[in-house]
Structure 1
Amino acid sequence: MNQELPPGQESDEIQGLAEVVAKSLSEGEDPQSIAQKLVDSGWDPEEAASFVGSIEHHMMHAQHAGGGSEVQGWMLWGGGLIVINLLSWMFNWGFWIY
């Protein structure tokens, strides 16, 4: 999957920005205010909210995954794929995930 970066952003800049956003979130800054700062610097509002939300999601997952095992994660992933494919078959959706 090829994701478009916001105008003027290189992947290493995005990595650095992700670290800054993660640090701000860990210090308790409101996700909406972080996204607004990105919008003020030229980001599209939806892209900014999605970027911050994605980092917040990964941080939450990392916090909760500390006690879990890798096998449980793979079992959840496999179960999710089975459910999506089953729903695709039942409702005749035009996509399958292999």
Structure 2
Amino acid sequence: MKKILLVCSAGMSTSMLVKKMQETAVKEGKDYEIEALALSEAESKIDDVNVILLGPQVRFQKPQVEKVAGGRVPVDVIDMQQYGMMDGESVLKHAESLME
């Protein structure tokens, strides 16, 4: 099972996006564990995930998260438009492309 971690300032707004991503994964028959956490909690999960996606509101934290990840997992920022539209399908496809 692949694990996707979404990170935002409080872990709240990304929770809605997680739900949309999970719905897409189930529809497509994919086995993913998708979780949303606040930035302060994310560090403890880095070694347990396959990809980390940052909410646009914490994009400035990308260098810090990449440093903590140490190249072990890909880190990227969710597209602002996809995030705003809660486009779970597109965000899931982006996560998949980073895990390849």
Do the structures match in fold with TM over 0.5? no
TM-score by length of 2: 0.25
> Which of 1 and 2 has higher RCO (CA within 8 Å, sep 6+)?
2
Answer with 1 or 2: which has the greater Rg.
Answer: 1
Structure in which a larger fraction of residues adopt helix: 1
Structure in which a larger fraction of residues adopt strand: 2
TM-score by length of 1: 0.25
